[in-house]
Structure formats: C-alpha cells, structure tokens
Structure 1
C-alpha cells in the first residue's frame, strides 16, 4: 500500500513541476515585461531595462525558475513586483471566494444530477427521461460565459433576486453572502450537472438490471428503497471519479465567472496578473491550483478501495 501511494505522490509532484515550467515558458513568449507595465507606456527602454535588472528578470529563464522553485519548495512563493504583496498572502486572501464558489457549484451539481439521474433511470425512455435528457443537453451546450450573462439578465436585472455583481463576505451576513455567490455557482454548476447526470443515469440503468437488484425487488422491497439502498452506491463509482476530477478543475476554472461577476477570487487574481505580466504571481497561483488539482485526484484514486471492495480484492490478487 505504501509503494502505490508514494508512486502516486511522485507522479503528482512531477505534474506540478511540468505545469509551472510550462507557465514560465509560455509567459516568456509574450511581448513586453512587468517592468514596462510598472513604469507605463511612456517609459524609455533604458528605464525598463534598469528595472528588469533590479527585479532580476534580466537573468536567464532557467535561473529565474530555479530560484523561484527553491523558494516555493520552502513555502515561499515570492512577492509580486507589481503590488509588493506576498503571493502566499494574496492567495490566502482570495482563496475563500474561489473555494466557496467551487464547493457550492460542486454541491449543487452533485445534488441536482443525482435527483435527475434517479428520475431518469427509474423509467428509461419515458417522457420524464426524455425531458430530463433534453434539459441536460441544453446545460451541456451552454458554457459559463454564456450562462453567466443570461443568469444576470433574468435573475438579477429582471427579477431582482440576486445582486448583479460584487461580493459579500460571510462576516457581512450569511444571507448577503449566499445571494452574491448563488448565481456564479449556478453558472459554473450547469455543465457539471449535465455530465454528472448522463454518467450516473447510464450506470444506474445497468445496475438496475443486475440479479441482486431483481432479488431485492422479489423480497418485496420498494422501488425507492432498492434504488437508493442497493443500486445507487455501486453505480456511483464512475461518478465519484468524475466528481473528484471536476472538483479540482472547478477551483481553477472560475476565471471567467469571477471576471463576469467582479468577484475577488483566485481567477480574477490570475487574470489580472497575466495582463500585468506578473510572472511571480502567476507561477504561485498556477502552482497552488495544480497542487490542489492533483491532490484531489490522488485522494480520489486512493478512495476507490473504500468505495468499491472489488478494487481492494483486485489489488490483492
């Protein structure tokens, strides 16, 4: 057990290393520099070169990355040359917003998709099943940058149920906080609802045809009891895999939604840092998101043994 865990952790660290190297390489191809952003458009080439030398950006790219990586391994992600703020502090300040959006979207998607999948699988091919599949197809084809403005127009501007933009912290009250977070979370969750529903529906229909389900029904158990007690758990294996992957992706996938709703999260920090050519902040945020992503996926892989005993038996064989 120890060796597989160490192997997965080693692969995860390699992924994080390759991601951060890729970010540095891509940003180095973009025109301009952080010094030109700090000094403004009227800065002379000499002044820009002097500031780049002062910030250490005139050194070879591999040396800049090695220095950053040395500090990152020790827990120091560096300081932003644009704002002067510690990157770790900036992440800690904005993480609660992104984390709340991702968790809310995840919970909404999971709850709604399970209910829809159960309703569809109970009577496959029925009008209810066809109607749910049609709605799921619409959700799947509407990305967040389309769903966001539509939700703002109908639910915020027309109906006035939610604020158009802005953020309210939990310290300002649970009600205002949930109102500010609900529309962005729904915009993120729509695509996830569709993918979760389709996967779970297919697995549920297959499980309901198994002999042990037929035996449970023959004993006089109600259809609802059989569905939730006997069929849902063995059908959720693929769903948990996808949900784990998507949860990590959601934390890094709120850039567009946070920009649409003017939310002070990691997505907005990353977008503004890329525009400002703030390589240090971009590296730190991307490294953090990559660690969260691979960490969640590793945890999901290790949880298979607890979810499905067949995995444990296969590992022993």
Structure 2
C-alpha cells in the first residue's frame, strides 16, 4: 500500500500543471499560482508532502480536496456504491455464464458446442472494455432500445431502473472475465471428471448431473477462486474505463476527473481506498481455500 501510494504521488508530480492552476484558471499569474501553492502546502518537497499525507491517512484522514473542498472520505462514500455494484454485478454475470459454459463444455468435451465456446472465449479475451462498451451500446441500446445509452439510476428510483442502467456497463467489464473463468474452470472440470473417484461414483449408479455438481465442481473451483482475487485488479481497471464511457458517477470517473485537474489528494485517497479493498478481498480469497478443499485444512492442521 505504501509503495502504491508513493508511485501515485510521484506520477502526479511528474504531470504538467498543478491543482493551483486548475483552481485559478488559465489567466492566473505565476505569482498567484505560487501563492496558492504555498497556501496549500504544495511548495514543499514531494517527500514532505507525501509523509504528511501518509501520517494523516494512517489516522483515518484521507485529506480534503483543494479543488472542491470536499473531504476525500465523503467523496468516496458517495461514489463507492456505484463502483461496488458495478463490480459485483460484473462478477455475478461472469461467474454465472462461465459456470454454464464450463459445465456444458466439460460434459461434451471436444464437441461442436465446446469448440464454439472455446472460439468465443478467444474472441472475448481479445476485446477490451472500451471496445466492448460501444459495441454493446450500439446493438442493445441504439438498435433495440433495450437499455439506456448513458446515465445511472440509483436504487431509490427503483431496482428495475437501477439494474437496467447498470447491466450494459457490467456486461462490458464481465466479458473478458467470462472468457478467462470459463477456460480455467472447463479445463479443471475436464481433468477432474477423469479421476478414479468419479468413475467409482458413476459405477454406483449416480447420475451425471449429480456427479458433476456434487463431486467434481467443488474441487475444480480451487483455481477459479485463486484467479477470482487476481482478476479483481482487471475489473477495477475496467470499471474506470466503463464509468467514464457510460458517464457513471463512480470512483472510476472521480479518479479520472481528479487526475485531469491535478487533484493529488483526491487521487491518492481513491487509490488508497481501492488498494485496501483489493488486499482485503484477496485475503478473504486466501482464507476461503480451506472451505473449498478439505485437503488444505488438513495440511494446515498437520
């Protein structure tokens, strides 16, 4: 976390301009800019600015935006629900479709449908969110009118309107994850279905569906859970692009706007919050291994 925030501070310092210039406008004199920088403490060496921010952050104070005067924690609290909903909905879509595709592919391996799904996964892996978004908007919004083109409907306007405005952005983020989740789970399922205990279960007369979901799916999901935590970073990056593309009032749009206005305090606060969430989720993923595979619990106990 310290390394990430240090790099953000350094990169923001290397960008031309300053928040003082953004506040005063293009007609500001160098003297006025220098005076405002001194008032904001931006005339100090970079390491002093960073240590001052870090000390406050360790006590729960992420600072106040000099551009808007809004506390960073307040801005995060306002916009985080949009980003969290977008990320959760993307994960639900990705996991649901990947599970369906993997089960179908593992049930009839090397069949026509399995080959089609593998080819589709290759296409989805090569389409980033900033390309998938406009394509989905054109076909599902402009041509059919099924979903709104831009904007966000909060939950207080109704669950239906909220999901309608969130579906296309979430699907744009989920497409790449669908492909990666499907390929990984399909390969593990196919391998697990060749195990001897699976043959023994079939020999006892158990149905294919029961063997698949009761005995094969759980041990095959170990790798998927691992990649789930790692893929969160890609999804966070995808939400930044998609929120800007669909004009969603989330953390992604906030950080893009703050970078453009050289609002270092806001950028550092959002990055720190996102990093904490990322680390926390990966920690939960690590702790969940024992719940998925009993062999992990036995190894830890031993």
Name the TM-score, length of structure 2 as normaliser.
0.98
Q: Which residue of 2 aligns with 1:85?
A: 70
Q: 1:246 aligns with which of 204, 222, 231?
A: 231
CA contact (8 A) 2:137 2:168 kept: yes
Q: How does 1:172-211 map to 2 (within 5 A)?
A: 172-211=157-196
Q: Contact conserved, 2:129 with 2:238, CA < 8 A, in 1?
A: no
1:134 CA displacement: 1.1
1:239 to partner: Cα distance? 0.3
**Match for residue 7 of structure 1?**
none
Aligned residue number for residue 277 of structure 2: 292
Contact 2:12 2:264 in 1 (8 A): yes
Matched-pair contact (CA < 8 Å) for 1:248–1:297: no
8 Å contact kept, 1:102–1:250: yes
In the alignment, structure 1 residue 55 sits paired with structure 2 residue 40: yes
8 Å CA contact retained: 1:23, 1:283? yes
Q: Hey, what does 1:112 align to over in structure 2?
A: 97
- Give 4+ residue runs of structure 1 displaced > 3 Å after superposition: none
By how many angstroms is 1:246 displaced?
2.0
1:99–1:251 contact (8 Å) kept in structure 2: no
Q: Spell out the pairing of 1:1-317 with structure 2 (5 A cutoff).
A: 16-247=1-232, 249-317=234-302
CA apart distance, 1:63: 1.0
Deviation at 1:177, TM superposition (A): 0.5
State the distance in 2 between where 1:130 and 1:120 align: 8
- The answer on whether the counterparts of 2:95 and 2:178 sit within 8 Å (CA) in structure 1 is yes
Give, in angstroms, the shift of residue 249 of structure 1: 4.4
Tell me if the contact between 1:120 and 1:132 (Cα under 8 Å) persists in the aligned partners.
yes
Q: Structure 2: how far apart are the matches of 1:237 and 1:140?
A: 22
CA shift for structure 1 position 244: 2.2
Paired with 1:25 and 1:247, the residues of 2 have a C-alpha distance of 24
Work out the CA distance in 2 between the residues paired with 1:169 and 1:76: 28
Query: How far apart are 1:248 and its partner, in Å?
Result: 5.2
After superposition, the C-alpha distances for 1:211-243 in whole angstroms (9 at most, x for unaligned) are 000000001111111111110000000001111
Quote the offset at 1:315 in angstroms.
2.8
Q: CA RMSD in A?
A: 1.0
Question: How far apart in 1 are the matches of 2:4 and 2:232?
Answer: 18
- What TM-score does the superposition give when structure 1 sets the normalisation length? 0.93
Q: Offset at 1:316?
A: 3.7
Does the 8 A contact of 1:252 with 1:289 survive in 2? Answer: no
Asked if 2 retains the 8 angstrom alpha-carbon contact of 1:27 and 1:277, the reply is yes
Deviation string 1:23-61 (CA, Å, 9 cap, x unpaired) is 001111111111011111111111100000000000111
Could you tell me which runs of 5 or more consecutive residues in structure 1 were left unpaired when the two chains were aligned.
1-15
| Alignment: residue pair count | 302
